Chain A
């Protein structure tokens, strides 16, 4: 296959200014939010219509050209990292909201539409699109679909997959398939459910029919400070055992509290060993009844300080500290790795104690911020990339934390996906026979392995590591991580 012939053929479908092949233009596509990996693609195609995407994919198939679909490049697992001998199909301009049906509570949007823009388009009618990854001001729905993105409200509302009703997709050989419908219900196997979270290996979602929910009538948010992590963890268990179903349950450790406080002055007590954030939401009368029950539990858990958000402004301040925790930790350390393991909720305390031990053993600082409601940990492993061997040591510690999550009965990833970053850990979570079945499935859909080659499955040589730390957009304060 010659690149020249491919690009010449591509020009039949795309104007020259939307085919990037100059090294300077390609540099912007070398990496996503997992900046540890860099790879320059051969070229970048920038289609603006679904037909252009389909034509590009067909051409790739004809020329056996591997391709990687990319939205805003916010993947934390290297999911949109280019392949050396392939092209990137950039979907940001495929960004029309095709239909908004307020009465029937759904919208049809193209893959490049920004997550938050869906909610913005329907907010006037009191509706919202529930999935809320922290990168929602810039990440695209296509990327959310490929990686089944999460957020802070997954226990109650589920992940992206739970909010996708239908999909129009182009398979890796250019054939187009329609999956699901506009209805909540279905009489066939859940093809949409399989496609969502397939990390780009099954092709490219062109448009999605998404479910919209009424915005909760009211929120009640509190923050409780504890002298020990154990006490905060026990409180989470007590809340769950009481039959309450909070919209969000988050915990931060001392290091993250201090970092967040220094960064945004959220009013957090900096001497707390652990901070617990609880948010109830829903219909007013129900929330008030739940709130009474919650206060009894919190009182019994003996926090040394409780703050209740009295106004919407105070509520947002509590969240601002939490949402800025990752970028704030970036101030404490030039480089860090974000982990995304999951453990059963009842083993959170044990997991955190063991992470502390590992941190001490390696002499590497680890800050902890996590979605306590669903057991999703986000340890931030801090290191100085200028010191020889520091990255390798940090990665070794990260590997031990992943092993710990598996040992405790959890998962290697809660919401960031496998991508490049965690593919070598897949055999720790799945058996050989399971991985082979996934490979068979992948090859039945894409025999040439053109779509997002090199991701998810543990094979191939990883590209060179360069740098680990905040994404340039994160440094600029545009995005934050969960």
Chain B
């Protein structure tokens, strides 16, 4: 099952046996771990694909600890449903749940949604990990308690590592109580500049906001500001009134309509048919210059203006644009090319970490 092949057709290894996965890594020259293939492709020239979807299920869940440990191939949806039974959730708002995203892929792609705004991203909730390094060692990092300062922080390291440092086999998260109710303020702004002027008012105020997004459509000048607030039912209406007063107007939505707005963001149903999406981390001050080049693209500025999502078919054009503006990018969804685009600086620290964990470069370049 772990023979080398030169063909583009990779050999899938599907197993729930971790030691067999370790053995496969030891024997192969190029390895790629695959979950539900919702976000990122395997690196080019991969000889052995490790299909992790059978490595699925909950290992340990203690609701009163706010801690859950699950196998990497577990669908995120199953985890969210189990947590919801106990009034809890993964606060980083994982992406593409309905399309079958797995826990391992969510960590490897650092797939945070708009609600990351409130409490943080995958990095802020991952507390433990097991993974296979490039020599087939099954390693542990972190633990199962929410506070832990022992040993190097392998759990955080693997967030966003795109499978290039190791094969994640299980993950332990800190979880939080889920807001009992949500409401969202929608405000149409004539121009992006108007919405951007509003951002610091929202991000610097002492109100507890769950998400702050700006939605821009391809062919329209006006944009929509969306502010999501969650918490106990009592007090929510009063909180929404304050948000509306702060931004000077807007429509308050709740219930199913409200859910749909954020489901759309999480599942990328707003993308034109066949388009990929490019994730660009930035700060609000970088948005005007970037946006000036993006007329004609559907795009969103999420998490208080700290990440841009750009719908794109011609990745080459976005790559060139990002390089010119010295911004990094990551192509997600429906693309088979190398996902990391845009600006990159040499990183000697990264090179040394890669050399230690994957000395034979089995997992592909960083």
| Interfacial residues, chain A to chain B (CB-CB below 8 A) | 102-106, 125-127, 147-148, 150, 154-156, 158-159, 161-162, 169, 171, 175, 177-179, 181-198, 202, 214-217, 237, 240-241, 243-245, 282-283, 285-286, 288-290, 292-293, 340, 342-346, 371, 374-376, 409-418, 422, 426, 429-431, 433-434, 436-438, 440-445, 456
Interface size of B by CB at 8 A reads 89
Q: Answer whether A289 and B329 are a contact pair too, CB < 8 Å, given A189-B161, A193-B157.
A: no
CB distance from B304 to the nearest CB of A (A): 8
Determine whether the beta carbon of B281 is less than 8 Å from that of A158: no
Residues of A within 8 A of B76 (CB): none
Does B12 reach chain A (CB closer than 8 Å)?
A: no
Determine whether the beta carbon of B366 is less than 8 Å from that of A194: no
Q: Answer whether A187 and B180 are a contact pair too, CB < 8 Å, given A171-B348, A374-B146.
A: no
Does B19 reach chain A (CB closer than 8 Å)?
A: no
Determine whether the beta carbon of B116 is less than 8 Å from that of A184: yes
Does B282 reach chain A (CB closer than 8 Å)?
A: yes
Determine whether the beta carbon of A413 is less than 8 Å from that of B144: no
Q: Mark B98-142, 1 if CB is under 8 A from A, else 0.
A: 000000000000101000100111011000000001000111110
Residues of B within 8 A of A196 (CB): 153, 156
13 residue pairs A–B, Cβ–Cβ below 8 Å: A155-B66, A158-B120, A159-B147, A171-B348, A177-B349, A177-B350, A184-B307, A185-B121, A190-B158, A285-B235, A289-B233, A342-B145, A414-B145
Determine whether the beta carbon of B159 is less than 8 Å from that of A193: yes
Determine whether the beta carbon of B307 is less than 8 Å from that of A185: yes
Does B328 reach chain A (CB closer than 8 Å)?
A: yes
Q: Answer whether A245 and B124 are a contact pair too, CB < 8 Å, given A179-B347, A185-B306.
A: no
Determine whether the beta carbon of A217 is less than 8 Å from that of B206: yes
Q: How many A-B residue pairs have CB under 8 A?
A: 275
Q: Answer whether A244 and B177 are a contact pair too, CB < 8 Å, given A158-B120, A159-B149.
A: yes
| Interfacial residues, chain B to chain A (CB-CB below 8 A) | 62-67, 87, 110, 112, 116, 119-121, 123-124, 133, 137-141, 143-162, 164-165, 176-178, 180, 200, 203-208, 231-236, 238-239, 242, 279-285, 303-304, 306-307, 328-330, 340, 345, 347-350, 352-353, 355-357, 366
Residues of B within 8 A of A105 (CB): 203-204
Q: Answer whether A283 and B207 are a contact pair too, CB < 8 Å, given A190-B156, A193-B156.
A: yes
Name A416's contact: one of B119, B149, B161, B162 (CB within 8 Å). Answer: B149
Most buried by B among A126, A175, A243: A243
Residues of B within 8 A of A431 (CB): 140
Residues of A within 8 A of B285 (CB): 103-104
Return the chain B residue nearest A376 by Cβ: B147
Determine whether the beta carbon of A190 is less than 8 Å from that of B160: yes
Determine whether the beta carbon of A415 is less than 8 Å from that of B149: yes
Determine whether the beta carbon of A217 is less than 8 Å from that of B143: no
Most buried by A among B63, B178, B235, B352: B352
Determine whether the beta carbon of B204 is less than 8 Å from that of A186: no
Q: Answer whether A414 and B148 are a contact pair too, CB < 8 Å, given A161-B156, A186-B281.
A: yes
Kindly state the separation between the CA atoms of A178 and B344 in the bound complex, as whole angstroms: 11
Residues of A within 8 A of B123 (CB): 161-162, 186, 190, 193
Name A197's contact: one of B66, B67, B149, B280 (CB within 8 Å). Answer: B149
Residues of B within 8 A of A148 (CB): 149, 153
Residues of A within 8 A of B207 (CB): 217, 283
